Amino acid sequence: MPDGVRTLYLQARAELAKVMVGQEDLVELLVIALLCEGHVLVEGVPGTAKTWVARSLSRVLGCRFNRVQFTPDLMPSDVVGTSVFHLRDGEFRFREGPVFTNFLLGDEINRAPAKTQSSLLQAMEERQVTVDGTSYDLPGIFLVIATQNPIEQEGTYPLPEAQLDRFMFKLLSGYPGEDEEVRILATHHAGSGTRELDRFGLRTVADVAGIAAAREAIKAIHVEEPVLRYVARLVRATRGDPRMVRGASPRAGLQLLLASKGHAAIHGRDFVIPDDVKRVLLPTLRHRVELQPGAELEGITADEALVTAASGVEVPR
């Protein structure tokens, strides 16, 4: 039932308020992605609490958490695991990598070359990894949260299109507002700026079974035909926009619909309204379109182009 999904979300948000200042939008979309079996790419400068949010959310939802620091010399086997030869029995055994968890934080993913970035492709899409011809299943609850530095920074490698398309959302993590930054400073000044989660008294409000039940509830969310057509027209509007080289794919439309259902559920509704679609439009599509070089030179962003394209689509009543 949507009421159960909303209760889970509200309880998680209340617990996270003990350790975080702001970041409500980030938390909302992370929860939606988890419940919709998606993954999240978070772009922002270092020091904006991206890792802290991921660790805290995994604790509150009763999930295992692993972190991988992506660097230029990181190998795919460092992420998925490798076969190790055991002298005693004279055979190889698979040693699991950090990808075998519920929450995997890939920190600064675009500091690693494409080969290592792509090691996550099968895991994100198929929920399994293949090593030496043998496939190994990942946990049923599996969320990749990848952070990346803005691509203008030195030492970054752009993510391949196939990798970007595996992420349900691309979120932009900016600097806090003045009032929020003052609260952060006051918290640290008072001695509560510890990085040890145990000291905050976080309560676990869900478990793997509860998350799985919430996922089933989201699948049952009702969508009227006019809303389905609205989603289709939004996606199609990106393909004919003169500022875009590449518009959103049919897969992008499916992700937009699923995210809209997740947004409806965490707000306690068993049906999708156009406002749900509008809320998740930018995070779902901003990394799935490519702007014309001329538009980029004019300083137009993907978000601005998407807003303009969406403004020409009639909203169902």
**Is the pLDDT at 8 greater than 80, yes or no?**
yes
Q: Which residues on adjacent β-strands are paired with residue 96?
A: 81
Q: Which tens digits make up the pLDDT trace of 279-289?
A: 999 999 999 99
146 and 227, same domain (yes or no): no
Q: Which tens digits make up the pLDDT trace of 38-78?
A: 999 998 777 666 788 888 899 999 999 999 999 889 999 99
CA 198/CA 234 separation, integer angstroms: 45
Is residue 283 assigned to a domain?
A: yes
Domain, as residue range, for 59: 2-210
166 and 284, same domain (yes or no): no
Better pLDDT: 161 or 276:
276
CA 68/CA 107 separation, integer angstroms: 6
Is residue 316 assigned to a domain?
A: no
CA distances in angstroms from 242 to 219, 250, 278, 290, 306, listed in the order given: 35, 19, 22, 11, 12
Look at residues 177, 210, 243 and tell me which one is the last residue of a structural domain: 210
Better pLDDT: 201 or 72:
72
Is residue 317 assigned to a domain?
A: no
Q: Which tens digits make up the pLDDT trace of 181-200?
A: 787 777 666 555 555 666 77
136 and 262, same domain (yes or no): no
Q: Residue 269 belongs to a domain with what CATH number?
A: 1.10.8.80
What DSSP character marks residue 191?
T
Residue 164 pLDDT level (bands cut at 50, 70, 90): confident
CA 148/CA 137 separation, integer angstroms: 27
296 and 240, same domain (yes or no): yes
43 and 129, same domain (yes or no): yes
Alpha carbon 224 to chain centroid, angstroms: 27
Is residue 250 assigned to a domain?
A: yes
Q: Residue 140 belongs to a domain with what CATH number?
A: 3.40.50.300
Number of structural domains the chain divides into? 2
Look at residues 210, 229, 253 and tell me which one is the last residue of a structural domain: 210
CA 50/CA 43 separation, integer angstroms: 9
202 and 61, same domain (yes or no): yes
Look at residues 186, 210, 234 and tell me which one is the last residue of a structural domain: 210
Better pLDDT: 108 or 158:
108
CA distances in angstroms from 45 to 163, 209, 237, 299, listed in the order given: 21, 35, 31, 20
CA 299/CA 258 separation, integer angstroms: 31
CA 39/CA 122 separation, integer angstroms: 13
Q: What's the pTM?
A: 0.89
82 phi and psi angles, rounded to 5 deg = -155, 160
Is residue 216 assigned to a domain?
A: no
